[in-house]
């Protein structure tokens, strides 16, 4: 993805998010993406996949990040993920060799965002483990080279959020081993310096590990995979010996040699431009050679790292041996910063009379030292720092500054304080007394400012009331009716802009209504009517007054008449209602139709019994069927319907009648099509009944979606079934289906078809016949493809022809038929003899004709451009010859034969394939020819001298060669070419220095060379790689073949023998095992050398006792196992070494008797402890009786002294009683280990 695009998307996302925050109310951002990266153990050579699992992954629509690892320890293989079909993952696996893979996750269907559960695997990254055991690579996520982490999420409401953070741990691959192994990395020393080093560690086995380095005597203890580096080493042979806790040994021999220092330089770098931009970079340049470059913390193997934030970056440049040099570079950023100081407060929140001072520093100002400034989104131009801004309102403000690089800094809450409010208002609010009455408000404004001019803004339930009150007056009044609700008043002081916000509420009583609790008409007996009322709404209490001055809410014993009541609430609001009661006795019931029957036969009529009071109803039809018990019955057809109305025992029987409207009658007419398939038929319909006008709709049967006509007539139609639907003014529908029929079809035939006489002729003939139709066939016509119009056709061509007839104006189908004809009359090229002219313009061609086709038999030939009628023509030149052929029926046709001109052969040397001889005395030349013209398929080659019969001849010696190219027509051409050879390569080798020591190298090179191509000389040793001619290559003793090459590969060869001096042999003897504290047997070193030995050295030179002067014989008394390396050096400086291991057995037994008898008989009179030579100190020897009392003690006793260690069974000079005693011993051994012993001893008397 393009980084500029990513930056733009980031900025757009940030701005969108800021705008969203302004109005964000109820919708929440989805939880941050939370991932877990596995940490696995693996062995060298294993294949494994690290899973990146989901903890939280809600609504993610797109995401990008980079996975990082150490490519020196793991080799990237592949990415894998479960294909859910709803998202895609894009990556560039080629960057895996550099230790990172960038990932872009993109949902392909925005309507189907994938759902992941906790623990689901999002993606797996697979590796092959290549590093040594004991190493570990972190697996972590960052923005990498893709332009930063970017996450887009969508919440349930469809809102989009962007983030540049992912919550994720650091995973790992730990390289382990079950076997005890030790590893090292060495860095050679530079010339005459002690700057070599070695780094070593152990893994597997049973840690911790002890190590010993000789020479030097470096020793110590390491934990599992713990590394130790020894620096300051000179050129030498070193041995590192590890021993684990089980006594297992691992040894590495390391030779520190001479090498060149690792050098690199910083060539370019750039600090990040802004705090929110990761666009810093660092670039280095290395010296000549193969180097691995590793940066931390990015683990990228590249000379240039980009897209960096501020921070420290360490580069380590390593050669092929793993030796390295490091440097740390710091990318810094002078962050753009803005601050402010309020110089003067504002009169009020709205007054624009505050003053602030703004300070800007850092970043990169424009060349004039200025910065761009915005206040509350409004540009303020370019300014130096500090900036004084006047006329600023009280309250919070947003300050934004920008430098020349486009970096921004913000103060999102610049607060300008304001002084106390100096405007007040007195409000007199008049609420309405009754629902719908007038309400108003009177306000008087007070201000302690000299200028009394104010203006107002009024709102009702949050909406502006424009022009509601006057302006520039200290008093405002409204006598208009104000609706119930909340009103806001904003009063602004004209001079200062200071404002006062206040509010008032208009409360309107609810509408006063009459609550009709009971109304009962008088019954059959009369004077039993009831009216009960009360007030509802308004303001309680209520007063009731009837027109007869009664104040009761319940009126009873009422008969027929008019009644009226008025209810008044506490505010004087009134409501009035009247009733009319029929006198008691006979019921007054009328039955009326409420819905007439719409169409004949329909059941959609209804009747209603009209009665002013509440009554019971019972309906029946004229058959006595029960139809319902409501005042109105529906879904009725034509007929008489009876109803009984009853109330309080009074009944009234009456009836109602519904009449069926007039039904439809119709007349139709049909007019069939004149011919089959014609559309000149028609249908019509005439209706009576129903209510005019009528609405017509014609359809093809089964296709009501296509209306064919909307009149009484359906014209211009073919045969078929047609449906008509007629609707009258009342919506009644009449429907029927009508049919039109085709007449009998007319049919034509073709009889007696005869072929043409000649190919492409028009002499075929045939006879026509027609039948069918509904008439007498008074009008009958025939039409042929030949243009003829009678019953017979005599001018028909061969091939497919046609005919049709028209019978009484109705056409038949077209009849197709075939008319035969002879084959084309042409020259039979297969049977004829044609001989082409042989070469160039020669006139030796021949043609012998044979015809075919037409009417077979004897053919006649007429040569149009030669004359004559013989089928044979000879001595013909190249060209085209035309012949008229005539068959036995006299049919004629002209055909032709072309004799081709053969181009002459032209032979040439192929410069691309021809190769001169590269080297002297070689047969390596080659010549290639190519030719054009003649007959290429029959080319033959004749070489002089006879070296080939093909177009190419190889392995040729110097000389001139002639080639003749010819074909089977004897066309030919000749070409020649001369091969040359250069002078031979001659070289002289430099004399190698004599090797002084066995196994040491010397140097071989070329002192002079000439001949051959004269340039590009190189040489090889034993057919190995080619070295520049000025090289001196290190070689060891042995037989060598030196080849000196020129630029064409021609060489000079010379054999060389480098003698090997005799080897020094050294034997230090067999490894030994000793008990701790004891000495080894004599170690005697045997040396065999032709030259005198100069020195002998033991490494380490510890715990040794030399037996002879030169220490060829020695004894060792080590406290722990030790590996000695013995190195001898002769007078020539040649060295040889051997090793001997002295393994120390940790046997720490102290012999202690279990009883003694101090009775003076000379046997076991004292308690003696048998200490071996490995014990150097008894820190404590104590005897306790069975009650725990100390009876004897010796401390810090040295066994090698003359003071005896014994207990005679006494305590403080007194004999102790016979019994069992307890001893405790704390012994220190020769290797410093302290061991405690305890037990019991029996004292016998």
Lowest mean pLDDT among 23-37, 251-265, 925-939: 23-37
d(CA 1214, CA 1241): 18
d(CA 759, CA 825): 7
Alpha helix stretches (DSSP H) within 625-780: none
The whole-number pLDDT of residue 1169 equals 83
In this predicted model, what pLDDT tens digit does every residue of 1138-1185 receive, in sequence order?
Answer: 999 999 887 777 878 888 899 888 888 888 888 877 888 889 999 988
Sign, CA torsion 591/592/596/600: positive
Residue-range domains of the chain with CATH: 3-175 (2.60.40.680), 181-256 (2.60.40), 264-331 (2.60.40), 337-416 (2.60.40), 423-506 (2.60.40.10), 513-581 (2.60.40.1080), 590-658 (2.60.40.10), 665-740 (2.60.40.10), 746-819 (2.60.40), 823-899 (2.60.40.1080), 906-979 (2.60.40), 986-1058 (2.60.40), 1065-1145 (2.60.40.10), 1155-1243 (2.60.40)
Contact 786, 797 (CB under 8 A): yes
Count of C-beta atoms within a 10 Å radius of residue 574: 14
Question: CB neighbours of 919 closer than 8 A, spacing ≥ 6?
Answer: 981, 982, 984, 985, 1012, 1048, 1049, 1050, 1051
- Cα(first)–Cα(last) distance of the chain, in Å? 100
Lowest mean pLDDT among 25-34, 36-45, 67-76, 640-649: 25-34
d(CA 1150, CA 1146): 13
Region 1102-1111: mean pLDDT is 92
Contact 1116, 1143 (CB under 8 A): no
Region 677-694: mean pLDDT is 87
* pLDDT class of 16 with cuts at 50, 70, 90: very low
Contact 197, 189 (CB under 8 A): no
The whole-number pLDDT of residue 1113 equals 94
Tokens 């008019």 sit on residue: 562
Average model confidence (pLDDT) across the chain: 85
Going by their DSSP bridges, the two strands 1234-1243 and 1155-1156 should be labelled as: parallel
Lowest mean pLDDT among 141-150, 702-711, 1053-1062: 141-150
Q: C-alpha distances in angstroms, 1025 versus 514, 973, 976, 1022?
A: 119, 48, 40, 9
In this predicted model, what pLDDT tens digit does every residue of 587-609 receive, in sequence order?
Answer: 778 889 998 888 888 888 999 99
Question: CB neighbours of 1201 closer than 8 A, spacing ≥ 6?
Answer: none
d(CA 875, CA 133): 94
Contact 937, 931 (CB under 8 A): no
Contact 275, 335 (CB under 8 A): yes
Task: Please list the residues that pair with 318 across neighbouring strands.
Answer: 292, 324
Lowest mean pLDDT among 355-359, 620-624, 704-708, 1201-1205: 1201-1205
DSSP codes of every residue in 231-257: EEEPSEEEEEEEE-TT--EEEEEEEE-
Region 1079-1091: mean pLDDT is 92
Helix (H, G, I), strand (E, B) or coil at 655: strand
- Does the pLDDT value for residue 6 go beyond 80? no
Question: CB neighbours of 1004 closer than 8 A, spacing ≥ 6?
Answer: 989, 990, 992, 1021, 1032, 1033, 1035, 1040, 1042, 1056, 1058
In this predicted model, what pLDDT tens digit does every residue of 124-140 receive, in sequence order?
Answer: 999 999 988 888 888 98
Lowest mean pLDDT among 41-45, 389-393, 463-467, 1185-1189: 463-467
Helix (H, G, I), strand (E, B) or coil at 561: strand
* pLDDT class of 466 with cuts at 50, 70, 90: low
The whole-number pLDDT of residue 288 equals 64
Tokens of 851: 């015809």
Cα angle 947, 948, 954 (rounded to 5 degrees) comes to 75
DSSP 8-class letter at 585: S
d(CA 330, CA 1241): 73
* pLDDT class of 717 with cuts at 50, 70, 90: very high
The whole-number pLDDT of residue 4 equals 33
Lowest mean pLDDT among 53-67, 770-784, 1089-1103: 770-784
Contact 456, 489 (CB under 8 A): yes
The whole-number pLDDT of residue 1124 equals 92
Please confirm whether the linkage preceding 215 is cis (ω < 30° from 0): yes
- Does the pLDDT value for residue 632 go beyond 90? yes
In this predicted model, what pLDDT tens digit does every residue of 200-224 receive, in sequence order?
Answer: 999 988 999 999 888 877 889 999 8
* SS3 annotation, 105-139: EEECCCCCCCCCCCCCEEEEEEEEECCCCCCEEEE
The whole-number pLDDT of residue 777 equals 64
DSSP 8-class letter at 14: H
d(CA 13, CA 147): 14
The whole-number pLDDT of residue 1 equals 34
**Predicted TM-score of the model (pTM):** 0.32
The whole-number pLDDT of residue 258 equals 79
State residue 8 phi and psi, 5-degree precision.
-65, -45
In this predicted model, what pLDDT tens digit does every residue of 428-461 receive, in sequence order?
Answer: 888 888 888 877 777 777 776 666 677 767 776 7
Closest CA to 1100 of 1118, 1081, 1082: 1118
Region 833-838: mean pLDDT is 85
Tokens 């269907």 sit on residue: 109
Lowest mean pLDDT among 49-53, 1023-1027, 1051-1055: 1023-1027
d(CA 271, CA 280): 5
In this predicted model, what pLDDT tens digit does every residue of 516-539 receive, in sequence order?
Answer: 988 887 777 677 789 999 999 999
Going by their DSSP bridges, the two strands 554-558 and 574-581 should be labelled as: unpaired
The whole-number pLDDT of residue 1163 equals 83
Tokens of 1157: 């008898």
In this predicted model, what pLDDT tens digit does every residue of 383-442 receive, in sequence order?
Answer: 888 999 888 887 888 899 998 888 888 888 788 887 666 677 788 888 888 888 877 777
Task: Please list the residues that pair with 197 across neighbouring strands.
Answer: 187
Contact 919, 982 (CB under 8 A): yes
Residues, the chain: 1245
Tokens of 428: 């007199």
Q: Which residues of 855-868 are buried (b: 16+ CB within 10 A; e: fewer)?
A: beeebebebeeeee
Cα-only R_g, the chain: 62
Tokens 């005439």 sit on residue: 686
* pLDDT class of 1130 with cuts at 50, 70, 90: very high
Tokens of 954: 């190889």
Tokens 């095992």 sit on residue: 1073
């Amino acid at each position: 993805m393009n980084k500029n695009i990513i930056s733009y998307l980031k900025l757009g996302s940030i701005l969108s998010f800021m705008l969203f925050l302004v109005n964000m109310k109820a919708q929440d951002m989805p939880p941050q993406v939370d991932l877990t990266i596995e940490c696995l153990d693996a062995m060298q050579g294993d294949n494994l996949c690290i899973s990146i699992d989901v903890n939280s992954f809600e609504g993610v629509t797109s995401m990008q990040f980079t996975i990082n690892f150490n490519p020196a320890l793991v080799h990237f293989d592949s990415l894998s993920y479960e294909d859910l079909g709803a998202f895609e993952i894009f990556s560039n696996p080629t960057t895996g060799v550099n230790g990172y893979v960038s990932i872009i996750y993109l949902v392909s269907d925005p309507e189907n965002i994938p759902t992941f559960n906790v623990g689901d695997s999002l993606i797996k990254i697979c590796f092959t483990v290549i590093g040594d055991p004991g190493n570990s690579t972190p697996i972590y996520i960052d923005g990498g080279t893709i332009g930063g982490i970017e996450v887009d999420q969508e919440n349930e409401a469809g809102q989009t959020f962007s983030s540049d953070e992912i919550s994720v741990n650091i995973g790992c691959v730990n390289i382990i081993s079950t076997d005890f192994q030790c590893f090292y990395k060495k860095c050679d020393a530079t010339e005459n310096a002690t700057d070599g080093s070695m780094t070593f560690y152990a893994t597997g086995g049973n840690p911790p590990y002890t190590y010993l380095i000789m020479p030097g005597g470096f020793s110590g203890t390491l934990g599992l995979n713990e590394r130790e580096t020894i620096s300051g080493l000179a050129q030498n042979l070193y041995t590192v010996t590890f021993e684990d806790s089980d006594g297992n040994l691992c040894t590495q021999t390391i030779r520190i040699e001479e090498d060149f220092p690792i050098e690199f330089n910083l060539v370019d770098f750039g600090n990040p431009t802004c705090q929110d931009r990761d666009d810093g970079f660092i670039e280095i340049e290395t010296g000549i050679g193969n180097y691995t470059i590793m940066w931390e913390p990015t683990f990228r193997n590249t000379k240039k790292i980009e897209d960096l934030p501020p921070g420290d970056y360490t580069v380590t440049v390593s050669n092929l041996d793993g030796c390295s040099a490091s440097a740390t570079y710091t990318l810094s950023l002078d962050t753009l910063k803005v601050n402010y100081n309020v110089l003067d407060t504002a009169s009020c929140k709205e007054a624009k009379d505050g003053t602030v001072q703004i300070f800007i520093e850092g970043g990169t100002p424009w060349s004039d030292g200025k910065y761009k400034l915005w206040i509350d989104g409004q540009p303020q131009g370019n300014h130096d720092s500090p900036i004084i801004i006047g006329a600023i309102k009280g309250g919070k403000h947003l300050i934004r500054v920008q430098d020349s690089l486009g970096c921004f800094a913000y103060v999102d809450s610049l607060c300008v304080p304001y002084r106390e409010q100096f405007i007040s208002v007195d409000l007199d609010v008049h609420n309405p007394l009754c629902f719908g009455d007038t309400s108003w408000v009177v306000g008087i404004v007070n201000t302690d400012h000299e200028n009394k001019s104010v203006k107002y803004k009024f709102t009702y339930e949050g909406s502006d009331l424009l022009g509601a009150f006057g302006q520039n007056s200290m008093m405002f009044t409204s006598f208009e009716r104000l609706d119930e609700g909340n009103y806001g008043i904003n009063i602004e002081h004209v001079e200062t802009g200071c404002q006062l916000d206040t509010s008032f509420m208009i409360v309107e009583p609810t509408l006063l209504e009459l609550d009709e609790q009971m109304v009962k008409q008088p019954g059959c007996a009369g004077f039993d009517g009831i009216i009960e009322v009360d007030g509802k709404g308004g303001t309680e209490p209520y007063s009731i007054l009837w027109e007869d001055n009664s104040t009761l809410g319940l009126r009873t014993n009422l008969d027929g008449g008019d009644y009226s009541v008025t209810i008044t609430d506490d505010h004087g609001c009134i409501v009035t209602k009247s009733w009319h009661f029929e006198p008691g006795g006979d019921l007054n019931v009328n039955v009326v139709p409420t819905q007439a029957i719409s169409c004949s036969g329909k059941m959609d009529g209804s009747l209603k019994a009209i009665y002013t009071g509440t009554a019971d109803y019972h309906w029946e039809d004229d058959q006595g069927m029960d139809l319902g018990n409501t005042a109105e019955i529906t879904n009725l057809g034509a007929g008489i319907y009876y109803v009984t109305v009853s109330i309080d025992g009074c009944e009234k029987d009456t009836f109602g009648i519904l009449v069926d409207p007039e039904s439809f009658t119709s007349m139709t007419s049909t007019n069939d099509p004149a011919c089959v398939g014609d559309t000149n038929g028609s249908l019509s319909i005439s209706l009576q009944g129903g209510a005019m006008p009528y609405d017509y709709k014609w359809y093809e049967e089964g296709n009501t979606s296509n209306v064919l006509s909307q009149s009484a007539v359906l014209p211009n139609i073919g045969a078929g079934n047609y449906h008509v639907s007629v609707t009258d003014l009342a919506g009644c529908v009449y429907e029927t289906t009508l049919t039109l029929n085709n007449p009998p079809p007319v049919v034509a035939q073709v009889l007696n078809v005869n072929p043409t006489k000649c190919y492409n002729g028009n002499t075929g003939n045939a006879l026509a016949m027609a039948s069918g139709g509904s008439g007498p066939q008074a009008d009958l016509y025939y039409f042929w493809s030949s243009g003829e119009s009678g019953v017979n056709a005599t001018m028909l061509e061969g091939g497919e022809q046609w005919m049709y007839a028209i019978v009484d104006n109705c056409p038949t189908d077209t009849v197709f038929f075939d008319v035969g004809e002879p084959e084309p009359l042409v020259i039979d090229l297969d049977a004829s003899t044609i001989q082409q002219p042989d070469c160039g313009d020669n006139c030796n061609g021949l043609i012998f004709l044979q015809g075919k086709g037409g009417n077979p038999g004897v053919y006649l030939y007429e040569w149009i451009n030669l004359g004559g009628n013989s089928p044979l023509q000879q001595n013909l030149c190249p060209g085209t010859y035309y012949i008229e052929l005539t068959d036995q029926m006299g049919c004629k046709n002209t055909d032709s034969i072309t004799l081709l001109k053969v181009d002459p052969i032209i032979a040439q040397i192929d410069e691309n394939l021809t190769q001169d001889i590269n080297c002297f005395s070689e047969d390596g030349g080659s010549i290639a020819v190519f030719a054009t013209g003649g007959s290429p398929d029959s080319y033959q080659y004749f070489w002089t001298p006879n070296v080939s019969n093909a177009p190419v001849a190889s392995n040729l010696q110097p000389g001139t060669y002639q080639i003749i190219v010819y074909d089977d027509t004897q066309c030919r051409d000749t070409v020649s070419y001369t091969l040359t050879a250069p002078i031979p390569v001659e070289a002289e080798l430099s004399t190698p220095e004599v090797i002084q020591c066995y196994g040491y190298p010397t140097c071989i090179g070329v002192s002079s060379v000439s001949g051959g191509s004269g340039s590009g000389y190189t040489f090889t040793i034993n057919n190995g790689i080619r070295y520049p001619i000025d090289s001196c290559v290190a070689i060891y003793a042995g037989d060598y073949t030196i080849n000196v090459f020129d630029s064409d590969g021609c060489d000079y060869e010379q054999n060389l023998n480098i003698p090997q001096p005799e080897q020094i042999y050294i034997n230090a003897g067999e490894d030994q095992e000793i008990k701790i504290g004891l000495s080894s047997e004599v170690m005697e070193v045997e040396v065999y050398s032709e030259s005198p030995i100069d020195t002998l050295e033991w490494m380490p030179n510890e715990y040794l006792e030399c037996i002879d002067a030169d220490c060829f014989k020695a004894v060792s008394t080590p406290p722990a196992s030790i590996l000695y390396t013995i190195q001898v050096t002769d007078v020539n400086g040649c060295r040889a070494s051997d090793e001997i291991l002295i393994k120390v057995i940790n046997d720490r037994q102290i012999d202690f008797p279990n009883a003694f008898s101090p009775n003076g008989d000379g046997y076991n009179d004292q308690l003696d402890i048998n200490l071996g030579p490995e014990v150097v100190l008894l820190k404590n020897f104590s005897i306790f009786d069975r009650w725990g009392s100390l009876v004897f003690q010796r401390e810090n006793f040295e066994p090698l002294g003359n003071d005896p260690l014994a207990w005679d069974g006494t305590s403080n000079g007194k004999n102790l009683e016979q019994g069992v005693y307890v001893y405790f011993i704390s012994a220190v051994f020769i290797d410093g280990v302290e061991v405690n012993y305890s037990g019991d001893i029996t004292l016998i008397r």
